Structure 1
Amino acid sequence: MRTTQEDINPKMRAFLVDWLVYVALTFRLPADTLHLAVSYVDRFLTANVISQDKLQLLGVTALIVAAKYEDGIFVHEVRRYRNVAANTYTRQQVVKMESDILKSLNFEMGSPTARTFLRRYITVCRGRDRAKAKRLEFLCSYLAELSLLDYDCIKFNPSVVAAACLFLARFTISPTARPWNLTLQRNTKYKVSDLKSCILMIRKLQLNGTYPGLKGEAIKVKYNDREVRCAFPSFLAFACVLFF
């Protein structure tokens, strides 16, 4: 986000991302589309200054662009997306914003996200226990979406965010076992020391269940499952695996 943004701050961005989770859930869009849309928003805000009243327009249009990129067959009607924004914006405004986004991104639409790397990392952890593998994938997806809420997370490469989510998911499932090993280190190219800052940031989101001060609960609704509602392991157990 450009430091010259006068009307937009990280909390406003968090509100927008939470709302985009709701919209993506409403239209049953895959998680990859959501992550891609948020990356478009951040890349656009890095290069362009916009007013607060245009932030939702940017978000919903970024979601349309990402949906079109991910699924070129399904028709994504602007009208349907305008409805979820209470018809605040005209069709012409959405089309104009779509053009602005494409130009700002120089039509480079396929940038990798944390989801891109998570798919590859998770395959390394899949064992014979299908239930455990499914839970691991579920928690990784949940943590990755929580990471979208915090603007500070974009300072980390998507591969780092993905590895940090995997670390935390494995720790949550088996707090008495080491969540990182040489196999994961070789496949991700990261040591735990490389991930520490990102792990701590996502851990705070995990404990809060959302971004600080954010009342939106779209992610909680989407991941309303006992694996998320359960009490997380103690800080002492977490500190032992991360710092020692």
Structure 2
Amino acid sequence: MEKVQKDINPAMRDILLDWLVEVAEEYKLVSDTLYLTVSYVDRFLSHHFVNRNKLQLLGISCMLIASKYEEISPPHVEDFCYITDNTYSKEEVVSMERDVLIFLNYEMSTPTIKTFLRIFTRAAQENCKFLPSMIAASAIFLSSFTIRPKMHPWNIALQCYSGYRPSELKDCVLAIHDLQLSRRGLSFQAVREKYMQHKFKHVAALSSPSEIPSSYFEVINE
């Protein structure tokens, strides 16, 4: 993208993707549609120059294509025009859709992050930095710490069922914790708003202390 785009920078892409999350929520699109949309956008931006005033047009056109591929009842072209306050006409959306499809050679199916997430959660790979089981255990550890920071987030039962001692989870827990803290106040506000919804128990409103006591990674006494 850095070699091709002269009028668009990564920050503009972030804003577009954050907005596309809102659009996906508005039209209740499945997550596969969103991942496929991002794949189309990034691939197109990596090969074709786009003016900044056409970036949103590219985004909705890619989502239109992804919706037709993934959704049972995809939104119509008019819906995507409406979501942009009719900044773009139906003809412009259809024209950009055609350009993207030609670029894709009409091969709309492609592996996305979601595709590999499904694979990696079914089969742990020895060459992964963190196994899926470890990431899951670490997420439980950090969730417990976030909710009750003064209580030890791990216990004998969790150690038995997960197969992990606190010391073995330390690196993974700290890595996820760092991501949790670094996202405060940054972009992707739509993602945060998504997980502020009641159906997700408002988890985005939760925050954990900046430091995890080292004692929490020590051996648990039975």
TM superposition score normalised by structure 1:
0.63
Aligned partner of 1:38: which letter?
A: V
Deviation at 1:227, TM superposition (A): 4.5
Match of 2:180 among 206, 215, 222: 206
Answering whether residue 4 of structure 2 is matched by residue 37 of structure 1, we say: no
Deviation at 1:117, TM superposition (A): 1.8
Match of 1:220 among 164, 172, 192: 192
Give, in whole Å, the separation in 1 of the partners of 2:131 and 2:13.
22
Give, in whole Å, the separation in 2 of the partners of 1:7 and 1:164.
40
Give, in whole Å, the separation in 2 of the partners of 1:166 and 1:51.
43
Change (3 A) 1:10 1:236: farther
TM superposition score normalised by structure 2:
0.69
Q: Gaps (5+ residues) in structure 1?
A: 126-159, 181-191
Asked whether the 8 Å contact 1:168–1:203 carries over to 2, the reply is no
Max radius of gyration: which structure?
2
Give, in whole Å, the separation in 1 of the partners of 2:58 and 2:184.
22
Q: Deviations over 1:70-101 (max 9, x none)?
A: 12x42431111111111100000000000010
Q: Deviations over 1:132-160 (max 9, x none)?
A: xxxxxxxxxxxxxxxxxxxxxxxxxxxx8
Counterpart of 1:18 in structure 2 is: 18
Q: Deviations over 1:101-145 (max 9, x none)?
A: 0111222221111111222333458xxxxxxxxxxxxxxxxxxxx
Deviation at 1:209, TM superposition (A): 2.7
Deviation at 1:204, TM superposition (A): 5.5
Change (3 A) 1:87 1:63: same
- The alignment yields a C-alpha RMSD, in angstroms, of 3.3
Asked whether the 8 Å contact 2:27–2:75 carries over to 1, the reply is no
Counterpart of 1:28 in structure 2 is: 28
Asked whether the 8 Å contact 2:77–2:93 carries over to 1, the reply is yes
Higher RCO (Cα < 8 Å, 6 or more apart): 1
Counterpart of 2:150 in structure 1 is: none
Give, in whole Å, the separation in 1 of the partners of 2:92 and 2:21.
22
Give, in whole Å, the separation in 1 of the partners of 2:121 and 2:61.
31
Aligned residues: 183
Counterpart of 1:47 in structure 2 is: 47
Classify the secondary structure of the residue corresponding to 2:46: helix
| Structure having the larger proportion of residues in helix | 1
Q: Percent identity?
A: 37
Counterpart of 1:174 in structure 2 is: 141
Change (3 A) 1:203 1:174: closer
Match of 1:231 among 208, 219, 222: 208
Give, in whole Å, the separation in 2 of the partners of 1:166 and 1:232.
24
